[in-house]
Every structure is written in structure tokens, then in C-alpha cells.
Amino acid sequence: MSYIFISGGASSGKSDFALKYLKGRSDVTFIATGVSTDSEMEMRIRRHKDQRPSAWTTIEEPVDLIKAFGNIKNRRAAIILDCLTFWVSNLIYSKKLERDKILELAEKTAHYLVTIEKTALVVTNELGMGIIPENEEVRNYRKIAGEVNRIFARMSDEAYFIISGIGVKIK
């Protein structure tokens, strides 16, 4: 079974799209990669948690996604992975991984998702449609995130781009 790739700009409605896609299911595991780094992020995480049905399971895993997938006990459960760009950030800044290692891990993780018997939705931010950052570090992060997105999009069965809360099927 493959997975569904969901991308779009910041606050475009990607997470809402994923929640609505699996609405009515009680066997959903939400894998959260975001880490609370300040009060704004803490509020954002709390708001996302409040939006999820209480029957859903949440796994907070900022780095080891394959381990998180393996911890899902229900063989046919659905998964929402939210989000790849936080995952990339965690790999760069917390784990100090270099680009090649991140891309290798992305290939391995996307391939793993293709092999599991679960409905999976992968949420990510499209970072490459705005201005080019003046800071080299941010340009490198944006480039790696874009390359990771391409890996996951390529291996997905379906892909959606979310614009102003509207999902447009692109694959």
C-alpha cells in the first residue's frame, strides 16, 4: 500500500485536509514531529492536539519515523505524519545530520511507508515558492526540505497541494 502526500504553504490548511480525509475513523495514529521550542510553538501544538478526535492515538516522535510507524499496533490503522519539514529541521539542528544522510533517511522512510499495510497521509510544507532567503543556513534548510519533499512525493500514490484550504490533486 502506498501513501498520500499533502503539501502547501504555511497555514494553508494541510493538517485540516488530513483530518477531514480520515474523519469518522477511530483507528488513526497521529505522528507529530514538531517540538515545543517556545510559547508560540507550544500553543500551536496544543491547538493541533485539540483538533484531533479523542479516540486517535498520538505519537510524538521528532526523529525516528520508522520506529514510530513500527510502534503502531493495529496492522490496518491509518496514519497521519505531520510534518516532514519539522522532521528535516530536527534532523539538521538536533541530530546534526548532513544533507546526504538526511536524503538517505528520507528514501528509506518513504520506502518503508510504501511497504506497510496502512493508509498513511504525509503532511509537509512547500518552502520553495517564496522569496529566496538572504541567510545561507536558511537557504540550505529550504533546499534540503524541498529535496525531501520530492522524495516523498515521488513515492506516493496520490499527492495534493493545499491552497487557501482547498486541496488540489496533483498526482
Rounded distance, CA 138 to CA 136, Å? Answer: 5
Which one of the listed residues 2, 48, 59, 103 is annotated catalytic?
48
Rounded distance, CA 58 to CA 167, Å? Answer: 24
Rounded distance, CA 60 to CA 68, Å? Answer: 8
Pairing outcome for strands 119-125 and 158-163: unpaired
Concatenate the DSSP letters of all residues of 75-92 into one string. TT-EEEEE-HHHHHHHHH
Measured in degrees and rounded to the nearest 5, phi and psi for residue 18 equal -65, -40
Question: Does 48 participate in catalysis according to the annotation?
Answer: yes
Sign of CA dihedral 19, 25, 30, 36: positive
CA-to-CA dists, residue 30 to 11, 43, 106, 131, angstroms:
18, 18, 19, 32
Catalytically annotated residues:
48
